Amino acid sequence: MSVDATMHVVRPGRRDAYLDWLQMLTGAGLVLFIAFHTLLTASIIFGAGALDGVAGALEALHLDTLAHIFVPILFFMHFVIAARKIPFRFEGQEAIWRNARLLNHRDTWLWIVQAGSAMIILVLGAIHMWTNINDTAILAATSTVRVQSGGWLIFYLVLIPLVQLHVFIGVYRIGVKWGFITDATRPKVVKILTIAFGCVLAIALIALARYATMTV
């Protein structure tokens, strides 16, 4: 019995192209924010005065207010758009794992890591944003007390590496998908991104350790 091999093929339409562009733009916006946020929080390494000074300058320019408004919008918009490609049913997830093991390709596994980390970041990131929005101001003392209380240290030990991993995989996948990273440049770019990821993660964890050990 013959089977029409094209009957289940769905051609991507203009709507999919627009959503792909929007996914890239919202992702790029979040990458820039995370980079800026990492630098801000890393200023604690140089002492409470450094963080308070940087935060005070941002508040004087009302950039903190803009971040509290636009970053959550970007965050949830990016997730909703990207989620259309994530299988939530068990059958779909089983097929993804089966195909990933069959292909055993780095980019396929990176997509799975990114999709999996997105689920955790959605919950933890929302909690983090809500906590910061409800703080009266960004202060070293406030952040230190939070990290040193309850289970917040464990919370950030999970969130920080996942966010940085998600960001760097996202940068790589954007580059590959839109042609910025070619087959010829891929090995070099992967090496650069891996080194950059290690350096940024180390800085973020050193800053977290500073919060955890600093006397208020």
Residues annotated within the binding site for heme b are: 37, 78, 128, 166
Encoding tokens for residue 18? 């627009």
One-character DSSP codes across 46-105: G-HHHHHHHHHHHHHTTHHHHHHHHHHHHHHHHHHHHHTTS--SHHHHHHHHHHHHHH--
Collect all residues with Cβ–Cβ distance below 8 Å to 101 and sequence separation of at least 6: none
Secondary structure of residue 180 in the 3-state scheme = coil
Distance in angstroms (rounded) separating the CA atoms of residues 35 and 40:
9
Q: What is the distance in angstroms between the CA of the first residue and the CA of the last residue of the chain? A: 76
- Detail the residues annotated as belonging to a binding site: 37, 78, 128, 166
